[in-house]
Structure 1
Amino acid sequence: MTAPVSPRVLAGVGVGRRAVVGPVVQVREPVEVPEDTVVVRDGVPVPEEELADTVLAAFRTVSADLSARAARSSGSLAEVLGATAQIAADPALAARAKRELAGGKPPVAAVRSAVGAFIDMFTAAGGLMAERVTDLASVRDRVVAVVAGQPAPGVPDLHEPSVVVARDLAPADTAALDLRYVLAIVTELGGPTGHTAIIAGQLGLPCLVQVTGATSLEDGTRVLVDARHSTLEVSPDDAAVEAVAKRTEAERALEEDTAPGATKDGDPIDLLVNIGTAADAERAAAADDARTVAGSGLFRTEVLFLDAQTAPPVAAQQKEYTAALAAFGGRKVVVRTLDAGADKPLAFATLPGEENPALGVRGYRIGRIHPQLMVDQLTALAAAAEATGTQPWVMAPMIATPAEAAEFAADARAAGLAKVGVMVEVPAAALRAKEILEQVDFVSIGTNDLAQYAMATDRLKGDLADLLDRWQPAVLDLVAATARAGTELGKPVGVCGESAADPLMALVLKGLGITSLSMSLGAVPAVRFALRHHTLEQCQAMAAAALAATGPTQARDAVVALLDPTTRDLLA
């Protein structure tokens, strides 16, 4: 008689709340291609004088493939794919590869050496630049595969609902996923606010990152992935599987509630969705026939810019903005002006050689170097507002001072935009929130970057994820300071970072005085449920308990202890 298999639990960092059970499918690692591989075309070795053109063509092929995938995608996925396509198209990479070839290296070695030099440079720079290392490695492996005539690395064909497991998952790999057959994503590397996590959230997939040992699991192994509890259980027993089925059924029932966002005693809060393109807006609006969300709290306009070699003209921008505003039929749409630089380079605007771009010319600061970008964007937004009869809420990212807020507000209002705000993602802005709000109509807190800058921790550094925990009391202090300023001045303060999608945190944010929460569409039902089962007074008590805690675990536990008992199984 065969002994039963004992469950084995691997810990990680969860993204999302769902739990699923399914077989493991491991992502293909890059094929081992010897550095002295002879490049062959039509069965014949490529002449030495044509090798440089062959390598450069491989970079172009990879860039074109990534661009095509970006065009077929939307939102965050399109954004990061476009950025990776820009990396493959970077003339500096191609020039370095040519120099390596001219120095006598064979093609495969030349590509690896060229990209490796940039990987070393980005790694040394740290911060958000280090985030691009995964994308650089993906570009390197894809170019090598094209040069050597090998299949590209990535996700194999899926034939049944599966849990996709990888050491790390580049955006291009994520774009190749057949979502009909993806139950969850699990990686050994990455961080809770990295590319994989953000894209998984957009796609509504439970995700675990930082799961040591995940890549040692054999294909076909049945696992239980629980994003809410940050665990992966190997070979779960029947009782665990049945519990997941019951939990899934209960979570689906939440979607039946389509009432506007509000607490149990009727205190309102706007529940909004994040979008990256007009197509995202149209999909969100189509999925939201009952108008269960109040609009969009974050329209990431940089998606339109990231895959372009030159700045999009005003007419092209106006067309995109008009379509997004029209999709929501007059509902609130908060538009973030160009948030590029650092991990989102622009071919036509990013400064080369910045030593620490995460602390450099990014977001609103790009206007110091390229002021016409902001002028054109505000012009296009004003034209879209006139065309639709809908006034967008326009906000600038990476604002650090009241003077910057005042400058942006003056420019936006001069362009004909009436509702003007800024992002609070720099601690200085949170500490001077009242002075900033005196200059603008509203603010929106980007909790991902706010945590990164407050905790001096790269938000994509997975092994420091504990410092970036959304429950860190120091970060909550900054959110609370901003919310107090809004309450005092009677002006809206929203949250559009990952914290907004956490139902427990949503209760705290409401208790702090936050007036709107923006998240992926799939996160809305659980957040709505949490709010509608707790009074404003309960939310305020939870906020006070979280702020009084000594650490993130204690803060979350304090809130769980105050939950309505009937909601604990679904929320805790």
Structure 2
Amino acid sequence: MNTLTGVGVSPGIGFGPAYVLAVQESLVPAPDARHGGDAGAERDRATRALEQVAADLEERGIRTGGEAREILNAQAMMARDPGLAVEVAVLIDDSGATAARAVYEAFGRYRELLAGAGGYLGERVADLDDVRDRAVAVLEGLRMPGVPDHPDHADHTARPYVLIARDLAPADTATLSRDVVSAFVIEQGGPTSHTAILARAMGVPAVVACPGATSIEPGTPVLVDGSSGLVRPAPSEAEVAEATNAAAARKAVLAAASGPGATSDGHAVPLLANIGGPGDVASALEHGAEGIGLYRTEFLFLDRATAPSGQEQESAYLEVLNAFPGGRVIVRTLDAGADKPLAFLPPRGEEPNPALGERGLRLFKINPEIMNEQLGALARAAAQSSAKLQVMAPMVATAEEAAWFVAACGDAGLPSAGVMIEIPSAALRASDLAAEADFLSIGTNDLAQYTFAADRQLGALTMLQDAWQPALLDLIALAAAGAVGRGKSCGVCGEAAGDPVLACVLVGLGVTSLSMAPPALPAVRAALSRHDREQCVLAAQAARAAISPQEARTAARSHLPGLAGLAL
């Protein structure tokens, strides 16, 4: 086969025999399946099966930890959803459906709602299907869907293997390790899919949105480059040797780079970590994070019937703050609403375009009690820690909104309040926002989505989500200049910060700090340490002068000679 090309979402080189996960048909109980007359016993069977699935998902999350735990806990809550339980009971009582058929139909109705919502909820359809299939398998006495514990591929002696699939459920991805899987190659998905997120957290090379991958013959040796997105079936020995030697050399270089982030001429660039909760702190510390640049607090709120109490929030915040005594911890306030609705808030009607709806700061304005509870919990946590807490709001479009949020933080007793630059209007008028806020932080994922009118969840539009798009670099430069002109800092906390080449360009654009998934920190630290600030500026200028992402990356690299030793 010829070399395949996808989107590299987790850097590194993986090599091994292909294990191609067969496309599994959903377990569909017969439409006319009816129970024997004891509806109560059938309801109990359904309840026990759903609870067994939920407990299994939670146990997998505990074993894995980090972001995987958050994702699997969210799936477990799907299995325990009270609305679904009622729907299952009604189907068993009113139509006489078996437990398996009732579960299948109840999940199907909920599935239609999620699929129709699109965006974040649309992405959760695959998670819901996985929970459904696991529950049906329990009820029917069948093997759980997913990756077998000991895959039967052609070469039994060669491990780890390259796992190839159309898509993967979080429960399967999370329980694998580099000792078992050398790389993931997925036909579907995008940079923000759960497979991509978990692969980065595990440090396993991964390529997504790779058409034709499942046509690779099982057992075929496959070489995977998680940076470039290239997938080579049956590579030559020379190709494998070259790639593995480069990977080994890169690993040695990364291990040698340590200490605070800085360019070779001493220009400080704090390197921070993106986390979803206390479970991610260990990885951040392991990879040398100087602090937290993005604490996504929505994981405390999503997929639950009641809002988290102030005490629950305070404990979660304090655990992270105490992990970085004297360091910086930037907390993003609740980024929910629209395509990430909160079950405990009354619905406000269907939105025709959720990505442009009432989310982030807009949700706070509608529900000030939620904001006051969160800001109060943050203030109490900060009072008990030596960490430097900074709080920022998502989805800020105007200077007026920035001023409103900063005032609310001041009323709560929080000393430092900033805003995220995710909307083009905010980037264009960053100077006005910086006049109101204490700092700015650029979320490149959403900024790209809104700049190019390209849904970040849609794999077909991955090209427009490329952080190397010159127009996006222009907006980042505008935002950084607006902040610097007001004497304020401007960091980047989107996925772009984790690209070592782009990290140098971002510094050249005027960005003052970089926050990323913890495993990306060593490569970024090494790349910065091999170039002075002037080289970063020249690389940024060259990238902005290009007319395509590919040209921008190539042009930037020509000014960054130290990258050659990193094998990036």
Alignment of 1:156-555 (within 5 A): 156-158=148-150, 160-253=159-252, 254-285=254-285, 287=286, 292-306=288-302, 308-342=304-338, 344-349=340-345, 351=347, 354-355=350-351, 356-555=353-552
Give CA-to-partner distance per residue, 1:107-141, whole Å, 9 cap, x none.
54544444334434433333333212222222222
1:264-323 per-position Cα deviation (integer Å, ceiling 9, x unaligned): 2222211111222223224432x25xxx43211112222233354322222222222222
- 1:446·1:497 contact (CA, 8 Å) conserved in 2? yes
User: In 2, distance between residues paired with 1:347 and 1:61?
Assistant: 23
Partner of 2:57: 66
95 and 273 in structure 1: CA distance in 2 versus 1, 3 angstrom threshold: same
Q: Distance in 1 between matches of 2:11 and 2:277?
A: 25
Return 473-482 or 158-167, whichever deviates more.
158-167
Shift, 1:403, TM fit: 1.9
Question: Aligned partners of 1:73 and 1:238: how far apart in 2?
Answer: 35
Shifted more, 462-471 versus 120-129: the winner is: 120-129
User: Structure 1 311/73 Cα, relative in aligned 2: closer, same or farther at 3 Å?
Assistant: farther
CA distance in 2, matches of 1:383, 1:428: 33
Of stretches 306-315 and 448-457 in structure 1, the one that deviates more from structure 2 is: 306-315
Measure, in 2, the Cα distance between the counterparts of 1:144 and 1:332. 47
Instruction: Return closer, same or farther for 1:456/1:91 CA change in 2, 3 Å cut-off.
Output: farther
Distance, in Å, in 1 between the alignment partners of 2:50 and 2:425 is 41
Which amino acid is 2:273 matched to?
Answer: V
Q: Output the CA distance in 2 between the equivalents of 1:216 and 1:45.
A: 44
Q: Residue 319 of structure 1 contacts residue 384 of structure 1 at CA under 8 Å; is this kept in 2? A: yes
One-letter amino acid of the structure 1 residue matched with residue 328 of structure 2: K
Relative to structure 1, is the Cα distance of residues 130 and 464 closer, same or farther in structure 2, using a 3 angstrom cutoff?
A: same
Contact map agreement 2:495 2:516 (CA 8 A) in 1: yes
Larger CA deviation: 120-129 vs 230-239: 120-129
- Displacement of 1:526: 1.6
1:437-464 CA deviation, whole Å, 9 max, x = no partner? 1111111111111111221122121121
Q: Match for residue 3 of structure 1? A: none
TM-score by length of 2: 0.91
Please list every run of 5 or more consecutive structure 2 residues that lacks an aligned counterpart in the other structure: 152-158
1:195, CA displacement in angstroms?
1.9
> Does structure 1 residue 122 correspond to structure 2 residue 121?
no
In structure 2, relative to structure 1, the CA distance for the partners of 1:238 and 1:415 (3 Å cut) is same
Distance across 1 between alignment mates of 2:108 and 2:257: 52
Distance in 1 (CA, whole Å) between partners of 2:7 and 2:96 is: 45
**Per the alignment, do residues 111 and 132 of structure 1 end up closer, same or farther by CA in structure 2, a change over 3 Å counting?**
same
Letter matched to residue 472 of structure 1: Q
What percent of counterpart residues are identical? 47
Q: Residue 83 of structure 1 aligns to which amino acid in structure 2?
A: A
- Could you say what the CA RMSD is over the residues aligned between the two structures, in angstroms? 2.7
What is the match of residue 74 of structure 2?
83
Q: 2:126 aligns with which of 124, 129, 134?
A: 134
The alpha carbon displacement at 1:515 in A equals 0.4
Contact map agreement 1:270 1:517 (CA 8 A) in 2:
yes
Following the alignment from structure 1 to structure 2, what is the Cα–Cα distance between the partners of residues 543 and 32? 49
Q: Distance in 1 between matches of 2:174 and 2:517?
A: 18
- The letter for the 2-side match of 1:263 is T
Distance in 2 of aligned mates of 1:278 and 1:476: 32
Cα distance in 1 for partners of 2:423, 2:74 equals 23
Partner of 1:18 in structure 2?
12
Query: Contact 2:26 / 2:133 at 8 angstroms: preserved in 1?
Result: no
Instruction: For 1:158 and 1:447, locate their aligned partners in 2 and report how far apart those are by CA, in whole Å.
Output: 39
Q: How many residues align structurally?
A: 558
Q: Is the 8 A contact 1:495 1:518 kept in 2?
A: yes
63-72 or 312-321, larger mean C-alpha shift: 63-72
Separation in 1, partners of 2:538, 2:257: 25
TM-superposed CA distance for 1:249, in Å, is 1.5
| Unaligned runs of at least 5 residues, structure 1 | 1-6
The corresponding residue for 2:154 is none
Q: 1:45: how far off?
A: 6.3
1:446/1:34 Cα in 2 relative to 1: closer, same or farther (>3 Å)?
closer
Distance change (3 Å), C-alpha of 1:267 and 1:97: same
Q: d(CA) in 2 for partners of 1:64 and 1:279?
A: 18
Matches of 1:173 and 1:345, distance apart in 2: 26
1:411-432 deviation digits (Å, cap 9, x = unpaired)? 2122221111111112222222
* Paired AA for residue 63 in structure 1: A
TM-score (norm 1): 0.90
In the alignment, does 2:552 pair up with 1:558?
Answer: no
Q: Does 1:154 align with 2:150?
A: no
- Secondary structure of the residue aligned to 2:388 is coil
Assess if the C-alpha contact under 8 Å between 1:86 and 1:306 holds in 2: no
Q: Distance in 1 between matches of 2:65 and 2:447?
A: 25
